[in-house]
Amino acid sequence: MRLIILIPTYQRPTPLIWSLQSVIRQKFDKPTFATKVMILNNDPVYKNQVDQSVNQVLNNNPHHEFDSVEIIQGNTAIPPIKNIYGTLKAITENGDIAIIHGDDDIMLPNTLLFRYNSALASKLHVFIGNCLWSCFFVKQRAGIYLDTLKNPYESAKPYQYNLPKSDEITTYSLPFISVYTYKISDEFWSIFDLAIDWSDQLPYEPKIKYPFVPFYIGLAAYHANQLGVANINMVIRGQFFSKRKLLPPLTVTEYANGGIILLTGLAVLNNETLLNNPNFHLIRKNQREATKKHVLQSFTRRDGLSIAQLLNLYRIAGSAFTVKDFTVSIILKNCRQLFNNIFFTTNLKRWFVGWGKETSMQEFWYRWDESNSKKN
């Protein structure tokens, strides 16, 4: 019985330091199980930088509680998502508890032991929680910015995984790979194969359809009655700043197109298997209502899709929206999303409230430990 943490990384040596350190700082209280961290480097050109980042973390945390921390090289000849899960299959065995942790995500304190123990005690095979959006990286910088509207030092509370209700499943971070915990088994790999099969039903190249595989894994696990949910924040999701050209401040947050994400999820929910499952009717309805608010946004930055491909995706998703669907409220929400997509108005508002100060690694981990000790 082992706990395996796989951290795929691609050209992000500085965020990797934050990500790995948040894992290495987790406490196990004298574990009776084996623990291993594997860093999967997916760009050979960055081998030296990845080595330096990992060594820096290990030197800063000489008394960490993991049995081993290793770096392995990824297979760049196959789609990234198949490389990641293929590696996971190669390094795990039935009975292991496994987590894939993003190279720009920060694991919250006390969450890893909770995830391991809760998954181990459950008869389910796929588990999911939620995430915070409160820390932001600056390219080519060592520090981060904090969103003071949320607590970036939050610690997990004792909880257990439960079966989700269909009206709440979309409130969890299904598309986000780092909030998943897997109990490795033949049943889990059957769920994964089903998720890949659903992806392959979309008529697009791998770089467009495969990034949403974690979302499909969550749906496939729910379809098989094998999804456990816990309404706690487990990680801080990484985001990046880049230069702003037109408006102050000088940086904007880079993020994926929400319209494309929602639309792709809706397309999967409309495949033949899930259409015939009454448990997905409410999920599909909620996804469709959310997608309506992002129609204009999906056309402004199409994430590699041509107009023809995007229209075809709407067709596959069954989103033949009529005039009746677009009430004044929905039209206004579309316009707000479009305006934000162009001028990043939400980013501006939140920046002025509390994103003004860059935080060093030393200060961040000091405040993390201080906050964590008060709660324990």
Q: Could you read off the pLDDT of 90-108 as tens digits, one per residue? A: 999 999 999 999 999 999 8
Percent of the chain at pLDDT > 70 equals 81
Break the chain into its structural domains and give their ranges: 2-244+352-375, 251-343
pLDDT tier, 113 (very low <50, low <70, confident <90, very high otherwise): confident
pLDDT at 250 over 50: no
The Cα–Cα gap between 361 and 353 comes to 22
Which of these, 303, 225, 215, lies nearest to 266 by C-alpha position?
Answer: 215
Percent of the chain at pLDDT > 90 equals 32
What tens digit of pLDDT does each residue of 298-354 get? 776 656 677 887 777 777 777 656 666 667 777 777 777 666 666 555 555 655 555
pLDDT at 117 over 80: yes
- Chain mean pLDDT for the chain: 81
Residue linked to tokens 């706990």: 3
Instruction: Give me the CATH code for the 2-244+352-375 domain, please.
Output: 3.90.550.10
The Cα–Cα gap between 367 and 164 comes to 34
Query: What's the average model confidence in pLDDT over 53-60?
Result: 96
For the record, the structure tokens of 181 come out as: 């915990």
